[in-house]
Structure 1
Amino acid sequence: MRKVTLIEGDGIGPEITEAICRIFEAAKVPIEWERENAGQTTLAERGELIPESLIESITRNQVALKGPITTPVGKGFKSINVQLRKTFDLYQNVRPCKTTQGVDSKFDNVDIVLFRENIEGLYSGIEFYDDRLEMSDSIARITKKGCERIVKAAFDYAQKYGRNKVTLVHKANILKGAGGLFLNAGKEIGENYPDIVFDDKIIDNMCMQLVIKPEQFGVVVTTNLFGDILSDLCAGLVGGLGVVAGANIGDDVAIFEAVHGSAPDIAGKGIANPTALLRSAVMMLYHIDLSEYAERIDAALNNTLKNKIDCTGDLGGNANTEQFTQKIIENLN
């Protein structure tokens, strides 16, 4: 029995994490949940955003599933997601975006896995403000090690799952230093994978190509800021943030999460869509070598999504969270 830290989060978090627990129980997944939490709820209850018990649990179990978390806005608190990524050096943000039958989208042939560097770049938090000039500087800190390890992770994934191309996205034509360092890392690492085609795209051209012909891309790797933008763009190609998985992966620890917000406006109404968190949980099962259960749950979810009437309102259906969850359980084979 594998222990996994479960972070239910805020807003709709408790509702959708409960749905995942029900599905896992029905599928007899050999997992024991160790429940912890973070965010606005724990701040109100325990006076801290990220309890030490949560850090200890993740350190001990090395795998966590996280619902959407709210960081209080305008009160001086740092992003909880960013803090967790830095605490555990989760340098890979992995976002699969694939067309699903039954989910409305503009395209029917998208199958992209985006690797976003998760620690460095403009999100390093290195900023300076000059009161005299009323001027702010933000530094995009890029290291050779950081570039190489995220690029290698993308190539390793492509090799493992039979993908024949990796596309690196950059702005080296303008950002000669930082962009050039990242692009050179791609070229050098790519030489070690002769069976995988390496190509690169400038970020602005990449955005255009994605909305014109997204099927030309498979595995995409890019820097932190560009990845933050492209991952949402890719999600939009396949139906939105409510249907895509997300993972933050390091060498020792991995946290799988729904990438959408906590949606406090619908919390407690029983209408939230658990698809994104369930797909993240499926990613987690592959990560911990429980692929048999992952495939079974994924098939049940996809079969449920084919029938719009069985889906939640945001997917065009009439079901509530409980009914949608029950239908997935019924579709387990």
Structure 2
Amino acid sequence: MAWRSLPRLRHILRESSGSSPSRIGLWFTESRRSVTYMPRPGDGAPRAVTLIPGDGIGPLVTGAVQQVMEAMHAPVFFETYEVHGDMATVPQEVIDSIRRNKVCLKGGLKTPVGGGVSSLNVQLRKELDLYASLVNCFNLPGLPTRHENVDIVVIRENTEGEYSGLEHEVVPGVVESLKVMTKFCSERIAKYAFEYAYLNNRKKVTAVHKANIMKLADGLFLESCREVATKYPGIKYNEIIVDNCCMQLVSKPEQFDVMVTPNLYGNLVANTAAGIAGGTGVMPGGNVGQDHAVFEQGASAGNVGNEKLVEQKKANPVALLLSSAMMLRHLQFPSFADRLETAVKRVIAEGNYRTKDLGGSSTTQEVVHAVTSQLD
């Protein structure tokens, strides 16, 4: 982030050399950027992180992260809480822990299908106002895929849309479900996407929508994206209808850079992009807000695995290991994040230790040992 800002600062100060100090101060006030998921100032002291192992393969992959963190002597320690998808609500002590620590690492939580049971994943996002979901889908060297040069960041609005949960049965056999979208949340996610693109030297932001049918709701989303785009002239902006987006993703994914989407579309787009780039088992991500961040496997499809994977202990820990590297960078420990990412990528590139979803037969523990042996 600093290398991008410094030349710009020098340029501004040169242009302002004849300006009064108050004018320079005004520039700093006007151009101050809002907080994004990017690293925030830290003092380097060890940090407490709330840990939710979750359901299914969750305890396996979160356990893998704990082992690797210990092996690299990362300056974090975990407060572990048992939370399961069949609970009525997220326990208050867990919410309090995340509010206190600001950061959480989470395994998958199973969401019951139907029956009126609320998703704990959605509860967490709403309770902590984790308004942005970020999933990075990219090719890993040594892992063959149908497409090359894929490096897509899907940024999804995380609190509104079809996930608002506002539905009821009007009369028996007739259910009404509301898709709620507001100007505030649409502008907030659009600004987040452009800010992320700017800070990470990305070239293009694509808004995914269905405004040709949902003219008011998705029209509001597009209006917000267009307004924010005018403030970032150095970043190319375009729009694509969600059904065409899916077709373009599976035929020419390298055309996409940063994608910003409403809630439901983002879930579908992120999982599609993850499948194209190598599978959900290797894609990192997180849910972030103004004050808190929850890091987890980026793409949600099958994130709790199946019983056979759990019994054989062959769950893929790569996605959560890369998500924990994102977490380390968020906590202002970039050297540890780089070490972890490098070690994971070396293991994937060598190809000797891969779980079943990547074409191998390794156990979770064998992958962990391989990663720890690659730590510099």
Give TM class, smaller chain: over 0.9
Query: Among 203, 220, 228, which residue is 2:242 paired with?
Result: 203
SS of the counterpart of 1:319?
coil
Q: Distance in 2 between matches of 1:328 and 1:117?
A: 33
Tell me by how many angstroms 1:119 deviates: 0.6
- Paired residues of 2:89 and 2:123 also in contact (CA < 8 A): no
Q: Distance in 2 between matches of 1:176 and 1:219?
A: 23
Alignment of 1:24-173 (within 5 A): 24-40=69-85, 43=87, 49-73=89-113, 76-131=116-171, 134-173=173-212
Per the alignment, residue 272 of structure 1 pairs with: 315
Alignment of 1:139-288 (within 5 A): 139-258=178-297, 259=300, 260-265=302-307, 266-288=309-331
Tell me by how many angstroms 1:101 deviates: 1.7
Change (3 A) 1:75 1:172: closer
Q: Distance in 2 between matches of 1:121 and 1:289?
A: 33
Q: Distance in 1 between matches of 2:245 and 2:221?
A: 16
Q: Which amino acid aligns with 1:318?
A: S
1:33-85 CA-partner distances (Å, limit 9, x unpaired) = 111121158x5xxxx65222111111100100001122445554210100000
Tell me by how many angstroms 1:130 deviates: 2.5
Runs of 4+ in 1 over 3 A off after TM superposition: 71-76
Tell me by how many angstroms 1:159 deviates: 0.6
Q: Distance in 1 between matches of 2:240 and 2:147?
A: 21
Q: Which amino acid aligns with 1:206?
A: C
Larger radius of gyration: 2
1:121-145 CA-partner distances (Å, limit 9, x unpaired) = 111111232326x322211111000
Change (3 A) 1:76 1:169: closer
Moved more, 52-61 or 70-79: 70-79
Q: Which amino acid aligns with 2:373?
A: E
- 1:293 and 2:336 are equivalent in the alignment: yes
Report % sequence identity.
43
Q: Which runs of 5+ in 1 are unaligned?
A: none
Q: Which amino acid aligns with 1:270?
A: K
SS of the counterpart of 1:109?
coil
Per the normalisation by structure 1, the TM-score is 0.94
Per the alignment, residue 5 of structure 1 pairs with: 50
CA-based RMSD of the aligned residues comes to 1.6
Q: Distance in 1 between matches of 2:360 and 2:248?
A: 32
Q: Which runs of 5+ in 2 are unaligned?
A: 1-45
SS of the counterpart of 1:140?
coil
SS of the counterpart of 1:142?
coil
Tell me by how many angstroms 1:12 deviates: 1.5
SS of the counterpart of 1:279?
helix
Q: Distance in 2 between matches of 1:214 and 1:140?
A: 28
Q: Which amino acid aligns with 2:167?
A: E
SS of the counterpart of 2:79?
strand
- Paired residues of 2:85 and 2:119 also in contact (CA < 8 A): no
- Paired residues of 1:308 and 1:315 also in contact (CA < 8 A): no
- Paired residues of 1:309 and 1:318 also in contact (CA < 8 A): no
Per the normalisation by structure 2, the TM-score is 0.84
